[in-house]
Copies of this chain bind each other. A is one copy, B any other.
């Protein structure tokens, strides 16, 4: 819809450049996985990508999709959406409020703001569907984590008490 062939081509060549710079191999699987996600305006899960790709790459396995996606994430070519792994969280605050999310520890704090109650939502959005509510998500590093000596800009998995599992190689 808002994604032209040029956009996709630009993303693909960016991928080639970044991959070459990082010295990772441009395998058939990685190319197709990136092409698939770069061509999508939805935000597919690993499984959705896998199912779409199976048609082109019958031998593809789901774990390769996961590995490739995290690799692309580490290369800064894609992002993850919403609360990453972690677990489901519950909220007893039913009033209209917004969230401050710490990208390091995953902590979420509420805040309210009269200035953010009637946000100017573009008309284009109203064509996507009926709007029930709007809320602002502020991402950052909470004060507790700021004091922490560890310096890491965008850890994939905020809380991992049992030894490092992955980092951008």
Contacts and interface: CB of A to CB of B under 8 A. Distances in A.
A46 B83 contact: no
A90 B111 contact: no
In the complex, which of the residues A43, A87, A136 has the most CB atoms of chain B within 10 Å of its own CB atom?
A43
A102 B129 contact: yes
Main secondary structure of the interface of A (DSSP, over half): mixed
Contacts of A136: 119, 121, 134-137
Interface size classification for chain A: 35 or more
A19 to B, nearest CB: 14
Contacts of A53: none
A44 B89 contact: yes
A125 interface: yes
A168 interface: no
Contacts of A46: 87-88, 90
Chain B CB count within 10 A is highest, among A69, A115, A137, for A137
A45 B129 CA distance: 30
Interface in A67-114: 69, 72-73, 76-94, 99-100, 102-103, 107-111, 113
Contact of A45 (B40, B88, B124): B88
30 contacts: A2-B110, A37-B90, A40-B92, A42-B108, A43-B108, A45-B87, A45-B89, A46-B87, A49-B90, A69-B90, A77-B94, A78-B94, A81-B91, A81-B99, A82-B82, A82-B83, A83-B83, A85-B88, A102-B129, A109-B128, A111-B128, A115-B122, A116-B120, A119-B136, A121-B136, A129-B145, A132-B141, A134-B137, A135-B139, A136-B137
